[in-house]
């Protein structure tokens, strides 16, 4: 039971409360958030996995409801840009070091 | 020559970043529902107000006429504003209006209808707001126009003159 509750906690923390900007569903006490908490709790009780619940809510409200969006067509820049910057930065540093050596 | 390339790249890079963030500032941060929302009527069961008879969505939307699913509450001020349009839509023979009474007290809901008259063919009760979530709704009022078990139009917020005319046109 405690484990199930912590899963509900984890999921609702990662859901954006759509009617209250900048708050997670877990943190909000709005009508919408409270209903969503009940829905998530029920799905957890039914044995649905975390990802299944996200998928279910995505079909209802779209990607926007997730604070931690998955990798897809719309979000690949978000995910790949930091890696790209890291690589470019690394390349510049290596080049500079090599220049110094010679 | 080589030394000049890096500052130029940096300037271009920061300009791009600046443009992205500047554009981002103007973008609305308020939730706007996806255009390609789920078109199938969600499956659920709900109790009818007063009688408490259970109804399933399969039964409710089985006919071949149009249905207007309207999420409302007596405490919701915009619902009052759209009520008149619901009364006007009620006269259509091929449209059934189904109300979903959202987080409301039965007594208040019935008083609301007594005062403003009842446009609904059937009223279902959603005491904890979970049925509204099945519909992808996040506030009241919201309305869904349904035909052949598919949602053909989703209306967020109160029905106004333009939306009313839209519905009339669609169900003709």
Question: Does B103 reside within a domain?
Answer: yes
Contact A62 B34 (CB under 8 A): yes
Interchain contact, B133 vs A35, CB within 8 Å: yes
Distance from CA of A98 to the nearest CA of B (A): 14
> Is the same domain home to A65 and A75?
no
Contact residues, B window 48-77, toward A, CB-based 8 Å cutoff: none
Total number of domains constituting chain B: 1
Residue A58 and residue A99 in one domain: no
Q: What's the total number of domains in chain A?
A: 2
One domain for residues A60 and A80: no
Query: Across residues B16-29, what is the average pLDDT?
Result: 84
Residues 6 or more apart from B164 whose CB is under 8 A from it?
A: B85, B88, B89
HEC states along chain A?
Answer: CHHHHHHHHHHHHCEECCCCCCCECCCCCCHHHHHHHHHHHHHHHCCCCHHHHHHHHHHHHCHHHECCCCCCCCCHHHHHHHHHHHHHHHHHHHHHHHHHHC
Task: Kindly report, residue by residue over A44-98, the tens digit of the pLDDT.
Answer: 999 999 999 999 998 888 888 888 777 777 778 888 888 999 999 999 999 999 8
**Summary mean pLDDT of chain B:** 89
Q: What percent of chain B shows pLDDT beyond 90?
A: 63
Q: Please check whether residues A98 and A61 belong to one and the same domain.
A: no
Here the ipTM equals 0.74
pLDDT in tens, B152-168: 899 999 999 999 999 99
Q: Which residue of B has its CA nearest to A85?
A: B13
Structural domain span for residue B77: 45-170
Is the pLDDT at A18 greater than 60? The verdict is: yes
Question: Using a CB-CB distance cutoff of 8 angstroms, which residues of chain A are in contact with residue B129?
Answer: 31-32, 34-35, 38
Position B81 pLDDT exceeds 80: yes
Predicted TM-score (pTM) of the model is: 0.77
Query: For B60-71, how does the pLDDT look when each residue is reduced to its tens digit (9 = 90+)?
Result: 898 889 999 999
Q: Which pLDDT value is given to residue B88?
A: 94
Chain B residues touching residue A31 (CB < 8 angstroms): 103, 129
Note down the domain range covering A28: 1-69
Query: Using CB atoms, which residue from A21, A39, A64 is nearest to B133?
Result: A39
Mutation target among A31, A57, A65 for the B interface, most CBs of B within 10 A = A31
A1 pLDDT more than 60: no
Distance CA A67, CA B21 (A): 19
pLDDT of residue A4: 64
Min Cα distance B37 → chain A (Å) is 7
Q: Are A56 and A6 part of one and the same domain?
A: yes
Segment A19-45, tens digit of pLDDT: 887 889 999 999 999 999 999 999 999
For the domain that residue A24 is a member of, what is the CATH number?
A: 1.10.8.640
User: Which residues from B are below 8 Å from A21, CB to CB?
Assistant: 29-30
Which pLDDT belongs to residue B2? 60
Q: Are residues A8 and A58 in the same domain?
A: yes
């Amino acid at each position: 039971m405690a484990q199930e509750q912590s899963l509900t906690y984890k999921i609702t923390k990662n859901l954006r409360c759509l009617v209250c900007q900048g708050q997670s569903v877990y943190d909000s006490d709005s009508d919408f958030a409270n209903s969503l908490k009940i829905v998530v709790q029920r799905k957890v009780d039914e044995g649905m996995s975390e990802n299944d619940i996200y998928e279910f809510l995505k079909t209802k409200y779209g990607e926007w409801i997730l604070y931690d969006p998955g990798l897809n067509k719309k979000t690949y820049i978000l995910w790949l840009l930091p890696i790209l910057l890291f690589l470019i930065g690394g390349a510049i540093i290596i080049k500079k070091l090599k220049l110094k050596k010679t | 020559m080589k030394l000049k390339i890096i500052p130029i790249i940096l300037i271009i890079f920061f300009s791009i970043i600046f443009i992205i963030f500047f554009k981002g500032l103007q973008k609305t941060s308020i939730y706007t529902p996806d255009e390609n929302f789920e078109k199938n009527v969600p499956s659920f069961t709900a109790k009818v107000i007063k009688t408490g008879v259970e109804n399933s969505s399969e039964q409710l939307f089985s006919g071949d006429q149009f249905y207007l699913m309207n999420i409302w509450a007596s405490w919701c001020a915009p619902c009052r504003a759209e009520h008149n349009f619901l009364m006007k839509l009620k006269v259509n023979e091929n449209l059934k209006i189904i109300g979903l009474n959202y987080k409301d007290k039965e007594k208040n809901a019935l008083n609301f209808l007594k005062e403003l008259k009842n446009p609904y063919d059937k009223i279902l009760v959603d005491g904890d707001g979970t049925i509204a979530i099945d519909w992808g709704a996040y506030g009241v009022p919201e309305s869904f126009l349904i035909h052949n078990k598919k949602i053909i139009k989703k209306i967020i917020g109160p029905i106004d003159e333009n939306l009313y005319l839209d519905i009339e046109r669609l169900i003709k």
